[in-house]
Chains A and B, each alone.
Chain A
Amino acid sequence: MRTPAALRHRAEEEAARLPPLLARAEQLAGTVLLGDHGRRRAGLGDDFWQYRPVQPGDPRRMIDWRRSARSDDRFVREREWQIAQSVMLWVDQSASMSFTSNDKTLPEKGDRARDIALATAILLIRGGERVGLTGTLLPPRRGQNQVLRLAEFFSRASDEDFGVPEHRAMLPNARALFVSDFLGPIDGLTIALTKAADRGVRGVLLQVLDPVEEAFPFHGRTIFESMGGTVAHETLKASELKDRYLARLGERKEHLTQLCAATGWQYGQHHTSASAQSALLWVWQALDRGV
């Protein structure tokens, strides 16, 4: 499931269900509006950029049949974007994300997070945005190949117990999408978000949680261990801990909400028991709305 091809395949599936996301900068909203449905009003808009041959992965609806009918090949009509956005992704690859409470019916949190992130990336790239990873590993680029590269990077797991977003080399005024469970120490995230806010980067925090992490249905004498095994906690009666755990989880969510409010980010939650599409829809709307 972690092979790049499979991951991309699933991401393409997710992406195919949404119309291309036209992530746009606020200031360009008025000027580049023409590009949207310009083909039916020839001559008015001059945002045509080029025809290119159809590549694998292009949906049929993107094919320009009028151009294709004039030759043997099929072509896609691409338009120019005057100002392209850079969107930086960070998906928590740590061991904590590889948890699932039921391996038969629920995906791992990390799988779900990567699906959503990559789907978003595909939509963005299809819309002509540049997408990359935070840090210096994969700077934002456009083009289908970037999707492949992203998928490649997403399939590398990390051994850490809890992931910390990269806060260096953040492009000014770019967009960002952070996907994690945000259950680990929160200091790193605070630093990253603060820095991002300093550089004018705004974005979306998506917290992916397993239903069990919300319900805490445990009882009896239990030793809880983190996925990496570095942290452990023993209790004699787990059921007694439930209320206090839920209170702490609530605090954590509250903290994230406040952090986002302070930095101009948007905070959303997603449970692996819900459909990925709803999360993708929310992310798309959040990116659209926020920028």
Chain B
Amino acid sequence: MLGPVGFAAPWLLLALVALPILWLILRAVPPAPVRRRFPGVALLLGLKDDESVSDRTPWWLLLLRMLAVAAVIIGLAGPVLNPEDRAAEGSDSPLLLLLDGSWASAADWPRQEEAAETLLEDAARAGRTAAVIRLTTPEPPVFQTPETWVTRLPGLAPEPWEPRDSEDEAMARTIEAIGALDSGIETVWISDGLDRPGREALLEAVEARGPVRVLETGGDVLALRPPAFADGAVQLTAIRAARDLDRAQTVTVQAHGRDPAGVMRVLEQAEMTFDAGAALARTEMVLPAEIRARLTHFALAGTRSAGAVALTDDGLRRREVALIAGRDDREALELLSPLHYLQSALETNADLLHGALTDVLPANPDVVVLADVATLSDGEAEALTEWVEGGGMLLRFAGPRLAASDVSRAEEDPLMPVRLRAGGRSLGGAMSWGDPKTLAPFDDDSPFAGLPVPEDVTVSSQVMAQPDPTLAERSIARLSDGTPLVTRKAIGQGQVVLFHVTANAEWSTLPLSGLFVGMLERLSVSSVNTRPAAEEIEGSTWAPERVMDAFGTISNAGTLPGVDGADLIAAPLGPDLQPGLYRSEDRAIARNVMGTETSIAPARWPGRVAVQGLVPPVERPLGGFLLGLALLLLLADILASLALSGRLRGTRAAGASAVLALALLLPAPQVARAQETQGQETRGQAAQEAEDFALAATQETVLAHVLTGNDRVDDLAQAGLRGLSDTLYFRTSVEPAAPMGVNLETDELSLFPFLYWPVTADQPIPSDAAYAKLNRYLRSGGMILFDTRDGDVAGFGAATPEGRRLQDLARPLDVPALEQMPEDHVLTRTFYLLQDFPGRYVGAPVWVEAAPADAEQIEGMPFRNLNDGVTPVVIGGNDWAAAWAVGEDGLPLLPVGSGMGGERQREIAYRFGVNLVMHVLTGNYKSDQVHVPALLDRLGN
């Protein structure tokens, strides 16, 4: 062993002694001679070599060869990096495997399971027995053949709670059983990496029985504390147990919930950053109430453990309460407002909705409060009834209006819990002889049971309920004289609650007392925002709705038994209390793995315990590398020898082979990566170029021509459009910028109103993608002027190579039926009145989109009511660009016709261009019959 390197056959290294001898031998032998043709040899005849100058192998070549031989010798000696210590395999002591198996193990469970499996398989090969204890569910060790345990390993998956500490009964029994074992047991403890008090007892017990090793991943453990709601936002706190706290770390927290379609998805996410040195990271999420209501849990992205999942419960939900008052004519006296006390009581815990009843009902509030609202319209009542039956809670307060109305008088109103007697009653006033009444203690079956009744709450007025058989069961609060104060009736899934007093302090002092808030809370009008204390819900039974396993997977609780409220809040998690969402009636409490104050820290083991990583360093034989190195050195020796004897010089083949050999040896990925970065740069560049192109094309109106690949044609098209652009600039309000060439394959077409497409006989057919672009362009109102430039030799048609090419080019295009341009086509009058359309050639017909078949000329009108749009294509062969073409100096490039007639023809060509661009830009504007009189006038009729 030399450090981490060991040798399979160390005796072979003795051969290294032979190296100096080899040196001497090689040094004595001169290199082989080179045969060389040389006419001057005749002059050399007779020349003798000096004895002392005999040429020897140079020292560096010798060194190269020595290295090669040394590499071969060492390589054959079988060097191994990180050789496995096979000594342990000889032991036959039983193996005790302790798994923490907690939620923190879950994140790394596959590797831990693999490590355990490896240990067990090694033990099996060595013929040892083994026992596995999962500390989350400890039981006395059972030593069996390791194979049995390997098959049971999948059943030993982590549990979503902490390992038991030594005070736990099962753990105590386990420790006792270990203490009773014979010594000589090797213990391997696969830890989840978290520090916990209370494991010393177990550690001492196993150390007393034999050597102990600890396997740990050493990775960070991340966990998420339950979310809290404060300051209008969800407050999230993540904690970490890291050996290296100085490292800043960013994690993503995701809010999971159901979308409106009921599908689970990530509704929101936020980054949380652990500052260097901090074990806490906080963030807050501002979520609308509707989204909050949809949340099921928060989770740290990328961490698969129950600790990184925090279920949400009612703590995040704020009930929406709609407040509707029967009279709102007294704003000035705020304290008399029927809603003032309700608002004060509710606004901290609930989202309040104001507005008309029909407006707020679609928002599906949890509670609708009607303060002294007597009559409802039929529509309102219907909507309200439907809403209540769907689970809404209607809270009504009495008042002068209700007392004065006939609502629920003779027979029970569906939206009132009881029938009312007319007028109500007044107590303790100046005109009455009774004292104001106080409240009676609440019955046990009342939802208000247990609320203390303050002495100073008095009721001076109330509406009275008609005695009915159902009255007793519907009363949930009474005055001291037994008259109902609060009555309740279930309607469908919802309920109606009536306070027989006003919501303000007019009729009673109830709204001034704390009891009012307590009653509202019991009615779930304002839900609990804070977690109830254990005592508060002691005795109530909470049924698990969804539970979470150690990996943070949430599943339905199925038939798990309910738990007591006090246990739910205070008891540690375990098989009987799994983390999850627990529900009692309409309240839900989430029990998460992490508490609001839980903190975690990396495990600290006593110095005497050996701590290792999960994966042992991989054994790596080095012999192959060394033999390969030797081969390389010998190759280099061949090249060097050739070079030395002059045979390499000038022979290109040898040089090429050397380069090839080197290229084979060099790792290719770097090159590939370089190409990749280059590729990205090119992509970025391309995007930039596309952007520049779009900017240039859109800042002004730009005429464009299709690049054909024929430089002469393209230059002429450019010059032609320049001439046309200048003409437009001088004569019309269209002021185009310099024309652009457009590559159909790469450039965006939709930026241009007009494309001039000179057809050459040899231009390539565009790709399918380009045709898709062209068709989109044509459908969205673009126009292409095809110019076969063969008007001199052929009428338009397939007679010329250009014509045939045009047919090939246009076949995949979405071109409508065509006709020769009729006399009354709008192109003849968009700017100038024209009847022929010459370019450099005259007479070849020009084809445009055919007029609809039903277009008829109306008597007295000079033209028909034609196409309601721009013809997408204009096809001709008059070589317009040539007639339009001007050089940089603004002078025509090519002659047209002869003499003044030719100049006239050029002028008409320009006019056609102007008409064309006007047609593109204004559509069928000149087709409008409004222009008829002016046009007739111009036509001289």
- A-side interface residues toward B, CB under 8 Å? 96-97, 99, 102, 109, 162, 181, 183-185, 210, 212-213, 216, 218-227, 231-237, 240-241, 244-245, 248-249, 252
Interface-facing stretch out of B41-49, B176-184, B611-619: B41-49
Cα A172 to Cα B47 with chains together (Å): 41
Partner of B39, one of A96, A102, A218, A223: A96
Partner of B42, one of A185, A216, A221, A234: A185
- Whether B49 lies near A226 (C-beta < 8 A) is no
Indicate whether A220 sits within 8 Å of B646 (C-beta atoms), given known contacts A96-B39, A245-B43. Answer: yes
Q: Chain B residues near A213 (CB, 8 Å)?
A: 38-40
- Whether B43 lies near A183 (C-beta < 8 A) is yes
Q: Chain B residues near A185 (CB, 8 Å)?
A: 42
List 6 interface pairs A-B (beta carbons < 8 Å), by A numbering.
A221-B32, A223-B35, A227-B39, A236-B49, A237-B49, A244-B47
Which residue of chain B is the closest to A231 with respect to CB atoms?
A: B41
Indicate whether A245 sits within 8 Å of B42 (C-beta atoms), given known contacts A221-B55, A222-B34, A223-B35. Answer: no
Cα A69 to Cα B236 with chains together (Å): 111
Partner of B37, one of A99, A234, A248: A99
How far does the Cβ of B643 sit from chain A's closest Cβ, in whole Å? 10
Which residue of chain A is the closest to B51 with respect to CB atoms?
A: A236
- Whether A237 lies near B43 (C-beta < 8 A) is no
B610 contacts partner chain A, Cβ-Cβ < 8 Å: no
- Whether B54 lies near A226 (C-beta < 8 A) is no
Number of B residues with CB within 8 Å of any CB on chain A: 26
Q: Chain A residues near B45 (CB, 8 Å)?
A: 231, 233
- Whether A220 lies near B644 (C-beta < 8 A) is yes
Q: Chain A residues near B36 (CB, 8 Å)?
A: 218, 222-225
Cα A249 to Cα B45 with chains together (Å): 12
Q: Chain B residues near A221 (CB, 8 Å)?
A: 30-34, 55, 645
Cα A244 to Cα B45 with chains together (Å): 11
- Whether B33 lies near A245 (C-beta < 8 A) is no
Cα A244 to Cα B48 with chains together (Å): 10
Cα A232 to Cα B40 with chains together (Å): 10
Q: Chain B residues near A232 (CB, 8 Å)?
A: 41
B536 contacts partner chain A, Cβ-Cβ < 8 Å: no
Which residue of chain A is the closest to B31 with respect to CB atoms?
A: A221
B891 contacts partner chain A, Cβ-Cβ < 8 Å: no
- Whether A183 lies near B35 (C-beta < 8 A) is no
Partner of B53, one of A222, A227, A236: A236
Cα A237 to Cα B42 with chains together (Å): 18
Partner of A226, one of B41, B645, B650: B41
- Whether B47 lies near A245 (C-beta < 8 A) is yes
Which residue of chain A is the closest to B43 with respect to CB atoms?
A: A248
How far does the Cβ of B648 sit from chain A's closest Cβ, in whole Å? 12
B50 contacts partner chain A, Cβ-Cβ < 8 Å: yes
- Whether A220 lies near B55 (C-beta < 8 A) is yes
How far does the Cβ of B33 sit from chain A's closest Cβ, in whole Å? 4
- B-side interface residues toward A, CB under 8 Å? 30-45, 47, 49-50, 53-55, 644-646, 650
Interface pairs A-B: 9 shortest CB-CB = A96-B39, A221-B33, A224-B41, A248-B43, A237-B55, A236-B54, A224-B38, A233-B44, A237-B53
> 15 other contacts beyond A224-B40, A245-B44, with CB at 8 A cut-off?
A183-B40, A213-B38, A218-B36, A220-B31, A221-B30, A222-B34, A225-B37, A225-B38, A233-B45, A234-B33, A237-B54, A240-B50, A241-B44, A244-B47, A245-B47
Q: Chain B residues near A181 (CB, 8 Å)?
A: 39
How far does the Cβ of B39 sit from chain A's closest Cβ, in whole Å? 4
Which residue of chain B is the closest to A96 with respect to CB atoms?
A: B39
Which interface residue of B33, B34, B42, B53 has the most chain A CB atoms within 10 A? B42
Which residue of chain B is the closest to A234 with respect to CB atoms?
A: B33
Which residue of chain B is the closest to A214 with respect to CB atoms?
A: B40
Cα A227 to Cα B31 with chains together (Å): 24
Q: Chain A residues near B646 (CB, 8 Å)?
A: 218-220, 222
Partner of A223, one of B34, B40, B49: B34
Q: Chain B residues near A240 (CB, 8 Å)?
A: 49-50, 53
Q: Chain A residues near B40 (CB, 8 Å)?
A: 183, 213, 216, 224, 245, 249
Indicate whether A227 sits within 8 Å of B42 (C-beta atoms), given known contacts A236-B55, A237-B53. Answer: no
Indicate whether A99 sits within 8 Å of B55 (C-beta atoms), given known contacts A221-B33, A224-B44. Answer: no
Cα A260 to Cα B924 with chains together (Å): 103
Q: Chain A residues near B645 (CB, 8 Å)?
A: 220-221
Cα A181 to Cα B40 with chains together (Å): 9
How far does the Cβ of A260 sit from chain B's closest Cβ, in whole Å? 19
How far does the Cβ of A164 sit from chain B's closest Cβ, in whole Å? 13
Q: Chain B residues near A99 (CB, 8 Å)?
A: 37-39
Cα A231 to Cα B36 with chains together (Å): 12
- Whether A220 lies near B41 (C-beta < 8 A) is no
- Whether A241 lies near B47 (C-beta < 8 A) is yes
- Whether B34 lies near A183 (C-beta < 8 A) is no
Q: Chain A residues near B33 (CB, 8 Å)?
A: 220-223, 234
Cα A72 to Cα B38 with chains together (Å): 57
How far does the Cβ of B882 sit from chain A's closest Cβ, in whole Å? 45
Cα A225 to Cα B34 with chains together (Å): 10
Cα A265 to Cα B55 with chains together (Å): 44
Q: Chain A residues near B34 (CB, 8 Å)?
A: 220-223
Cα A231 to Cα B44 with chains together (Å): 10
How far does the Cβ of A26 sit from chain B's closest Cβ, in whole Å? 37
Q: Chain B residues near A241 (CB, 8 Å)?
A: 44, 47, 49
- Whether A233 lies near B47 (C-beta < 8 A) is yes
Q: Chain A residues near B47 (CB, 8 Å)?
A: 233, 235, 241, 244-245
Cα A184 to Cα B646 with chains together (Å): 26
- Whether A231 lies near B42 (C-beta < 8 A) is yes
Q: Chain B residues near A227 (CB, 8 Å)?
A: 37, 39
Q: Chain A residues near B38 (CB, 8 Å)?
A: 99, 212-213, 224-226
Q: Chain A residues near B644 (CB, 8 Å)?
A: 220
